[in-house]
Amino acid sequence: MRTRDLSIDFCGVKCENPFFLSSSPVGNCYEMCAKSFETGWGGVVFKTIGFFKPNEVSPRFDNLRKESTSFVGFKNMEQIAEHSLEENLEAMKKLKQNYPDKIVVASIMGQNEEEWEKLAKLVTEIDSDIIECNFSCPQMTSHAMGSDVGQNPALVKKYCEAVKRGSNLPVLAKMTPNIGDMTVPAIASIEGGATGIATINTIKSISGVDLDKMIGLPIINGKSSISGYSGKAVKPIALRFIQQLKTNEKLKNIPISGIGGIETWEDAAEFLLLGSRNLQVTTAIMQYGYRIVEDMISGLSHYMDEKGFNKLDDMIGLANRNIIPAEDLDRDYIVYPKFDDNKCVGCGRCYISCYDGGHQALDWDAKNRKPVLNKERCVGCHLCSNVCPTQCISKGDIEFKNGAKERKIIL
């Protein structure tokens, strides 16, 4: 496995690498977190603790499939840690004692100011490195907790202030994506004393409906409920929120822990390039196990070598300069698709998709089973290349619209 120095400062804490377990079933006890440390994870965000003791349902998971691909998206109905507060505190204390160079983040959730402050004191006393305030769990049975709090900027600020009264540790405010503008509660959390932002938590969802029983999934004694959605399918939403946070004037210098659909080193690199300094993973671990961190460390190291990055700091946020408002995009040209006859298998998917869902810009040569481009109709949308199963369609000729000045185009 190829490695290089992936260490990074996050919220004033030196981390051996940016890869952490997120607060979830994957970091629910000492044994699990210890195994993750041995595998190479730089830190763990221990499953959220509080004075609230959940009573869980069974079954509690469902996953979205597409054709033969499982785990495109994942639904989770689990709440915070089911072990006693005392057990969880002892587990985190033991982790820090036995793995002093690893980072232990204590995720906490209270129901009022007094609970938030008391929890902050308790996790500070066991030598946690960072506190994460869970303002975002979408399936709590108490409306005084979770995403209902995260959508209320005044509460977010008040509870961050309570945590800061109870601790001098760095504080992460974990944001809910179940909101239109995340910058509002994020700014409130910083005004309340938070050091950084963690996002995104899971998205409220109904993953599917049993068509025979006419009940949502998973089925719990003939009923179901809205709960959190995660996995690869939420990555584009997570990236959008992180980009908006990092380009907000009041938040641009605030450290972010990125969460949402990270499975591979490529996913990790995307989050880093949009400004994340730390990365949290759950769903991919639930599917593949802790060892995926080995591939992520190796792949990210190779990528850094290839691009000439000496350290992670060199790549943080570089992609944000190239994401601009839609009204500022260059609309002066069309990129036509180019077809490679040697790769084409004559399936006709591009023709069907263009005719039924595009601009009828492909004619069909039935004799040779080949698509033929009709430039007069083509608008350069590239739906055809997105549906092609053999990747035989690439970007071809560039033509400038009437009156537009010809220039170099980056594709």
Which residues are annotated as catalytic? 137
How many CA atoms lie within 13 Å of 389's alpha carbon, on the beta-carbon side?
Answer: 6
Cα–Cα distance, 43 to 264 (Å, whole number): 17
Helix (H) or strand (E) holding 300: helix 292-307
> Phi and psi of 82, rounded to 5°?
-90, -15
Of 205, 306, 280, whose CA–CA distance to 44 is shortest? 280
Tokens representing 197 are 């932002």
Q: Does residue 361 contact residue 374 with C-beta atoms inside 8 Å?
A: yes
- The label of the residue with tokens 């040209």 reads 333
Work out the number of other CB atoms within 10 angstroms of the CB of residue 191: 14
CA distance 276 to 254: 10
3-class SS of residue 239: helix
Assign residue 305 a region (left: φ > 0; alpha: ψ between -120 and 50; beta: otherwise).
Answer: alpha
CB 23 within 8 A of CB 46: yes
Torsions phi, psi for 169 (to 5 deg): -75, 160
